[in-house]
Amino acid sequence: MAKFIAAQKDFWNQADIVISAIGAVIFLLLSLVINYFAGTYATIHASNPVTDIILSNIPVVNTEPIFVQGILIFVVLVACLLIIEPKRIPFALKSIALWVVVRSMFISLTHIAPYPEHAIVLSNNIINKFTFGADLFFSGHTGLPFLIALMFWNHKRLRYTFIAASIIFAVAVLLGHLHYSIDVFAAYFITDGIFRIGEKLFAKDYQTFLTTL
């Protein structure tokens, strides 16, 4: 508890970090608005589904609990890691926001309809506030945990935890036919590129983030 209180005091006593964190929150909220319009556009203009070398050869498995509850647990875990050490907030939220914006650009360009046979995701859960049906490329469930793994790369336990989460989600969305295989595999390469850009754009925040590890 003493360490937690000390981290909070250290954060609030550094005005530049607090201001950066506020900017990060605004950037994240803006990115979610962009994501909403991009996802809605992609779904309205969705074309026909296509064949897939993996999905065409495996049966549909109900992975809805992992797709929904799993990602909620992931979000809570990340939030806790940021609350425990708030100096992580600026770089983490700015990187996530950048990731969301870039993904929004991709889904605005590519709007293939979902695979015909897929697991049913209940329409009344919170995940449907952020996913829209044809916002497939690239997989958010795969890419976002991998982005967090890259952030915590110098923390061995957290690195492997988030890599494992990314792989579990990747397998889940493929088994549930909720993403095409290209959505999943491309997520790793694109996410790594976004992280490298974030390192340069938010260099000062990244150095602050590294001090918390």
Query: Quick one: which of 131, 116, 93, 95 has its CA closest to 180?
Result: 116
pLDDT tens-digit profile of 146-189? 999 999 999 999 999 999 999 999 999 999 999 999 999 999 99
For position 122, what pLDDT does the model report? 61
Angle between helices 140-151 and 156-175 (to 10 degrees): 170
The answer to whether the pTM exceeds 0.85 is: yes
27-114-162-153 Cα dihedral, nearest 10 degrees: -60
CB 87 within 8 A of CB 11: yes
Q: How many angstroms separate the Cα of 202 from the Cα of each of 57, 98, 109, 199?
A: 43, 10, 26, 6
Between CA 213 and CA 208 the distance in angstroms is: 10
What does the pLDDT read at residue 127? 57
pLDDT in tens, 45-71: 888 899 999 999 999 999 988 988 999
Q: What is the pLDDT of residue 125?
A: 57
State the pLDDT at residue 145: 98
Q: What does the pLDDT look like over 90-100, one tens digit per residue?
A: 999 999 999 99
